[in-house]
Structure 1
Amino acid sequence: METLKIIDIQERAVPIKSSIRNAYIDFSKMTASAVAIVTDVVKDGRRVVGYGFNSNGRYAPSGLLRERFIPRLLEADAKSIVTEDGSNFDPFKVWDVLMTGEKPGGHGERSVAVGVLDMAIWDAVAKIEGKPLYQLLADRYRDGQADDKVFIYAAGGYYQPGKDLSALQDEMKGYLDLGYNVVKMKIGGDSLEEDVRRIEAVLKVVPSGRSLAVDANGRFDLETAIAYGKAMEQYDLFWYEEAGDPLDFELQAELGRHYHKPMATGEDIFSMQDARNLIRYGGMNPERDYLQFDCALSYGLVEYMRTLNMLREYGWSSRRCIPHGGHQMSLNIAAGLGLGGNESYPGVFQPFGGFADNHAVVDGYVTLPDTPGIGFEAKSNLITLLRSVAE
């Protein structure tokens, strides 16, 4: 059998600009990298191309991709990145090639660049095998048992010019009308008093506090985080997310001594090692709290599986993982490896946010298409963009 080959890799920085803002940044100049890994494999008369991109909140790592990681992968010996029988690419071997010459630590934007290419490789691998990625993962790691639907929540509630309490309420009611049971809003971009008014306005239109999560995007110092916690504990919210800096594990642990309802964090932790430090020192409760690691920002699925193995060693269930990002890659991981759910962006970050066309949200859950690969081909606005990168 002739060795499979990668014959080209293309990258493009794509704007996802928007007028919205959270407690830390606005998204007016935000970009993402979209990549296409073109292989020499032909299936059903079409060349297999694997697609990938990075999640919102981190800018396109174009320089790292073009100067370091894409050349490294293209220059690799073809036999060094395929399975032992040569029938497919091996994402773990590809990951090792990408990280050749990279010192440990300092995860930063490097983890985003690797995550983009890792997503594209897994897309290609599943297409070559002729399976949806979630089923491929279930077959390899879960005795073939994929979840037939995945819990998702609607992330929104951003600060926007001219957006008053009535507009915020209308937005959240719109998510409920789409089939979501849990919605999320931003806090920390205004005063505590104003944010309490915003929270209470939303609570008037959702079934209960358990239908609302809040997200501070790491804005608070310890004193402010505790003050918000004391003000919000009465509402029994779905979770209180990323109160302080994502690597301030002492702040997170101390907050947990004052706020006794569910908390969530992890979307800005980009490696298994940092995730392990969160578990060791962040005071997170495996029976109550949620972890939001996003493979598209943290070295990809190869590293995410290492993180899941670490969590098991520390007594955490994969069901406590609800990834950030609102994209189809995490949705496949959730269904294939048994996570607790996935974020969703019904109104923003298009075309990357959202899932397959014609798969509506029903009672807070969504199903996945049986399209081989990650399923980008079942999302019309996204596959149009991705194919333009390859062509």
Structure 2
Amino acid sequence: MRIVEIKEQPVPISSSIRNAYIDFSKMNVSVVAIITDVIKNGKPVIGYGFNSNGRYAQSGIIHSRMIPRIMAKKPEDYLTDDGTNLDPFKLWKIMMTDEKPGGHGERSVAVGTIDMAIWDAVAKIEEKPLYRLLSERYGDGHPDDKVFVYAAGGYYQPGKDDTMLQNELKGYLALGYSVVKMKIGNSLEEDKRRIEAALEVVPSGKHLAVDANGRLNLEQAIAYGEMLAPYDLFWYEEAGDPLDFELQHELGKHYHNTMATGENLFSMQDARNLIRYGGMDPERDYLQFDCALSYGLVEYMRTLKMLKENGWSSRRCIPHGGHQMSLNIAAGLGLGGNESYPGIFEPFGGFADDIAIEDGYVAMPQVPGIGFETKAKLMKVLEGVAES
């Protein structure tokens, strides 16, 4: 068997929403299709991948470095030893050939996008849902058949008042989510009002998370923490710059409720520095590393190994991104849950069309691969890239 072709195309996910740091009016993502010569059900097996929202399409890196490196290799260089499937670890090394350590910001997204497509193809060739394959190969053989998911929304938007925010959050609860998240970071006064409006429609503070998207300096982060503490929220997310581990550590001395961060750390080494120097509590806090932005599942497994060595359970990981790849990792490798974007960043956000959210959990689709085929609108986009 062999890889016949790898295609990439940027696809818009533009929206009028914004967080405290960026707006999404010109946002796009890379979509990758890896076409193999393996035939299943009369069609070639194609693995699909895309990067998470918040980082732009990585067409340049993918076309100039990653695809040429893979396509220049002979099949025996990237197949399993028995030649029956793709080897994600060999392919990862090929993509990272002649790349210096460090500088993870954009390259890690390009690799993560292709890595997702590789794993989709691997599971399809094995004719298994990816989460079951992961559990059998790298987990305990007993995957989770359902995963905790929370609804991420509450964005700033032109003309959006507190009533509209309340209606949005009530809509998520009506869909079956038990925890909802909203953005903060514009101003303390404005956000205090918005949070109290949100608390009028959710069951309690433990059902509401807030996310500052790294907007705050230390003084502001502490002030927000003092404002948030009485509400006893589900978590206070990414108060300051993701690489300012001293800020995170100092904030932990003042804010003693649950915190979350890590979605903008793109390597095992950066994740390790957060654990070493960020003052995060393995019994209280959550980590949000996103495989699609951080060199893919190959690197994510190194991060999980590092966490275990440092006394962290994989259940304290709830990845950013709201995509089905992280959902499979959560179910197969025992993470604590996954983010969800109901109605946002379509068609990439959300899960299988025919599986409802129940009491904050979503069941896993029983189809080979990551499960993209269970999302009709998403498949139309993915197949369009493969056929282009």
* Partner Cα separation in structure 1 for residue 88 and residue 65 of structure 2: 18
What is the identity percentage for the equivalent residue pairs of Structure 1 and Structure 2? 74
* Partner Cα separation in structure 2 for residue 182 and residue 231 of structure 1: 20
* Partner Cα separation in structure 1 for residue 336 and residue 327 of structure 2: 10
* Partner Cα separation in structure 1 for residue 137 and residue 266 of structure 2: 24
Partner of 1:198: 194
Alignment counterpart, residue 298 of structure 1, candidates 270, 287, 294: 294
Does the 8 Å CA contact 1:156/1:347 hold for their aligned counterparts?
Answer: no
Partner of 1:132: 129
Question: Are 1:144 and 2:144 counterparts?
Answer: no
Partner of 1:367: 363
Partner of 2:216: 220
- 1:143 shift after superposition: 3.2
- 1:142 shift after superposition: 2.0
Question: Are 1:335 and 2:358 counterparts?
Answer: no
Question: Are 1:323 and 2:324 counterparts?
Answer: no
Structure 2 matches for 1:168-247, cutoff 5 A? 168-189=165-186, 191-247=187-243
Partner of 2:111: 114
* Partner Cα separation in structure 1 for residue 270 and residue 237 of structure 2: 18
Name the SS for the 1:47 alignment partner.
strand
Name the SS for the 1:257 alignment partner.
helix
* Partner Cα separation in structure 2 for residue 158 and residue 356 of structure 1: 24
Q: Which amino acid aligns with 1:173?
A: K
Structure 1: gaps of 5 or more residues: none
* Partner Cα separation in structure 1 for residue 247 and residue 132 of structure 2: 39
Q: Which amino acid aligns with 2:48?
A: Y
* Partner Cα separation in structure 2 for residue 305 and residue 107 of structure 1: 17
Q: Which amino acid aligns with 1:32?
A: V
Q: TM-score, normalised by structure 1?
A: 0.99
* Partner Cα separation in structure 2 for residue 271 and residue 141 of structure 1: 20
Partner of 1:66: 63
- 1:108 shift after superposition: 1.1
Partner of 1:75: 72
Q: Deviations over 1:172-221 (max 9, x none)?
A: 000000000000000002x2011000000000000000000000000000
Give the aligned CA root-mean-square deviation in angstroms.
0.5
Q: Which amino acid aligns with 2:317?
A: C
Partner of 1:267: 263
* Partner Cα separation in structure 2 for residue 143 and residue 211 of structure 1: 31
Q: TM-score, normalised by structure 2?
A: 0.99
* Partner Cα separation in structure 1 for residue 72 and residue 244 of structure 2: 39
Alignment counterpart, residue 257 of structure 1, candidates 237, 253, 257: 253
* Partner Cα separation in structure 2 for residue 377 and residue 221 of structure 1: 43
Partner of 2:154: 157
Alignment counterpart, residue 314 of structure 1, candidates 305, 310, 313: 310
* Partner Cα separation in structure 1 for residue 240 and residue 339 of structure 2: 20
* Partner Cα separation in structure 2 for residue 44 and residue 358 of structure 1: 22
- 1:347 shift after superposition: 1.9
Name the SS for the 2:368 alignment partner.
coil
Q: Which amino acid aligns with 2:202?
A: V
Q: Deviations over 1:317-358 (max 9, x none)?
A: 000000000000000000000000000000210000000111
Does the 8 Å CA contact 1:116/1:296 hold for their aligned counterparts?
Answer: yes
Partner of 2:346: 350
Structure 2: gaps of 5 or more residues: none
Runs of 4 or more above 2 Å deviation: none
Q: Which amino acid aligns with 1:157?
A: G
- 1:77 shift after superposition: 1.8
* Partner Cα separation in structure 2 for residue 346 and residue 150 of structure 1: 16
- 1:20 shift after superposition: 0.2
Q: Deviations over 1:278-313 (max 9, x none)?
A: 000000000000000000000000000000000000
How many residue pairs were aligned? 387
Partner of 2:44: 47
* Partner Cα separation in structure 2 for residue 330 and residue 388 of structure 1: 23
